[in-house]
């Protein structure tokens, strides 16, 4: 394979994604603020970059997988940023969950400096990333998406294209995460009702996950919520709160009421107040037990 790329952000999701690229023969240059996190990739043939700009090459492609809007923006601007370094015609493939409005702002910033921005957020947890089973949503300039496709295919099992409006993929990603969080809240309430009536939570989760709600979210998160097991974290509660707040922000900008999202936000804020920030975001379910005075 003759592909070359840069990769920025080697956290729980970024590291296995980058490992898959290296394993597939991509000549990869990696940057992470905590430089030691790049060592496993360097040992497998990746090159270490000393700055975001050094991870990029004029006309090349750089993938970012970062925690939030501010982290992505900090990698794009300034002398050590991606946008100017990628020009002319290079591509920033942004795989983080950020606000659609942030994606549009970043795309404009890239255009002004002669580079291109493609939104490419993913659905999946770290084990899905390691197994190349991520679902990728993408939007942005058609020619840039075409160039980035080979890299996306290494990382994920399915790619859904939402057109050239760059914020569209981020809208889809937030909509999906909202539905996941809402499902966890519904399961937590249902399982609490069952438990109070003497029904084993896990037997209810097993039946529903294999009949009425036979899908990965109800099966996987259903087991976690039913078992009251929220560590280790595949996706931290603090990041779940960030995403729900982005849902509320995006809904407000579109003049769409979002009362269920507001409930989820309050549930997560309460979870952080109880010291659960580093637990899996499924720990929002513990708030139902708190309210009912039930054992956790």
SS3 227: helix
CA gap 98, 119 in Å, rounded = 9
Q: Where are the domains of the chain?
A: 4-164, 171-292
For residue 54, pLDDT beyond 70: yes
Catalytic status, residue 173: yes
For residue 150, pLDDT beyond 60: yes
How much is the pLDDT for 253? Answer: 97
Cα–Cα distances in angstroms (integers) from residue 54 to residues 43, 48, 60, 289, 290, in the given order: 19, 9, 12, 49, 49
CATH of domain 4-164: 3.40.50.720
Cα–Cα distances in angstroms (integers) from residue 224 to residues 210, 228, 234, in the given order: 15, 6, 12
pLDDT digits (tens, 9 = 90+) for 236-245: 999 999 999 9
Q: Where are the alpha helices (DSSP H) in the chain?
A: 14-23, 39-42, 69-76, 82-86, 100-112, 126-130, 142-155, 168-196, 201-210, 216, 222-227, 237-253, 259-273, 286-292
How much is the pLDDT for 1? Answer: 57
Q: Which of 27, 29, 145, 173 is catalytic?
A: 173
Structure tokens at 232: 């280790």
CATH of domain 171-292: 1.10.1040.10
Arithmetic mean of pLDDT over the chain: 97
Tell me what the mean pLDDT of segment 100-115 comes to. Answer: 97
pLDDT digits (tens, 9 = 90+) for 37-47: 999 999 999 99
């Amino acid at each position: 394979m003759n592909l070359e790329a840069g990769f920025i952000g080697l956290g729980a999701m970024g590291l296995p994604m980058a490992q898959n690229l290296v394993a597939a023969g991509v000549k990869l240059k990696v940057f992470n603020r905590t430089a030691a996190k790049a060592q496993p990739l360097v040992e497998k043939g990746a090159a270490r970059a000393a700055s975001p700009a050094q991870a990029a090459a004029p006309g090349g492609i750089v993938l970012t997988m970062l925690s939030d809007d501010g982290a992505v923006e900090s990698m794009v601007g300034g002398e050590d940023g991606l946008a100017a370094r990628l020009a002319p015609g290079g591509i920033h493939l942004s795989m983080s969950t950020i606000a659609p409005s942030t994606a549009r702002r970043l795309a404009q910033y890239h255009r002004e400096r002669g580079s291109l921005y493609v939104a490419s957020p993913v659905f999946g947890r770290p084990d899905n990333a390691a197994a190349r089973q991520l679902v990728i949503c993408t939007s942005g300039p058609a020619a840039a998406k075409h160039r980035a496709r080979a890299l996306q295919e290494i990382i994920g099992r399915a790619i859904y294209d939402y057109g050239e409006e760059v914020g569209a993929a981020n809208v889809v990603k937030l909509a999906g995460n909202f539905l996941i969080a809402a499902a966890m809240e519904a399961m937590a309430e249902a399982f609490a009702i069952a438990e109070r009536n003497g029904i084993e939570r896990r037997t209810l989760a097993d039946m529903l996950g294999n009949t009425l709600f036979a899908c990965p979210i109800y099966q996987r998160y259903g087991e976690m919520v039913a078992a009251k097991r929220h560590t280790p974290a595949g996706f931290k509660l603090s990041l779940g709160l960030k995403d729900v707040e982005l849902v509320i922000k995006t809904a407000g900008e579109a003049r769409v009421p979002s009362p269920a999202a507001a409930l989820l936000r309050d549930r997560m804020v309460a979870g952080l107040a109880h010291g659960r920030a580093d637990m899996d975001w499924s720990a929002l379910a513990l708030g139902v037990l708190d309210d009912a005075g039930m054992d956790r």
